[in-house]
Amino acid sequence: MSEAVARIRIELEGTDPLVWRELDLPLSTTLAALHDLIQVAMRWQDYHLHEFLVGDKIYGVPDPEDEVFERKVYQSRSIRLATLIDRGVREFLYVYDFGDNWQHRITIGEVRQGEAGIEYPRFVAGARRAPPEDVGSISGFEEFLEAALDPEHEEHERMVEWYGGPFDPDDIDERMVRLIIKDFAARRRGPLKSHRSGGRRRGK
Could you list the pLDDT tens digit for every one of the 204 residues in the chain? 579 999 999 999 999 999 999 999 999 999 999 999 999 999 999 999 999 999 999 999 988 766 656 788 999 999 999 999 999 999 999 999 999 999 999 999 999 999 988 999 999 999 999 999 999 999 999 999 999 999 999 999 999 999 999 999 999 999 999 999 999 999 876 544 443 445 444 333
The DSSP symbol for 80 reads B
Q: Cis omega before residue 17 (within 30°)? A: yes
Same domain, yes or no: 100 and 192: yes
Tell me the torsion sign for CA atoms 22, 105, 27, 97. Answer: positive
Q: Is 91 inside any structural domain?
A: yes
- Residues in CB range of 116: below 8 A, 6 or more apart: 2
Helix (H, G, I), strand (E, B) or coil at 36: helix
Same domain, yes or no: 142 and 123: no
Give residue 76's domain range.
4-129+172-199
Same domain, yes or no: 15 and 42: yes
Residue 204: its pLDDT value, please? 35
Residue 146: its pLDDT value, please? 97
Q: Find the CATH number of the domain harbouring 194.
A: 3.10.290.30
- Residues in CB range of 40: below 8 A, 6 or more apart: 177, 180, 181, 184
CB of 6 within 8 A of CB of 102?
no
Quote the number of domains for the chain: 2
Same domain, yes or no: 9 and 55: yes
Same domain, yes or no: 49 and 107: yes
Residue 190: its pLDDT value, please? 57
Q: Is 26 inside any structural domain?
A: yes
pTM, two decimals, is 0.89
Same domain, yes or no: 152 and 191: no
Strand partners, 24: 7, 122
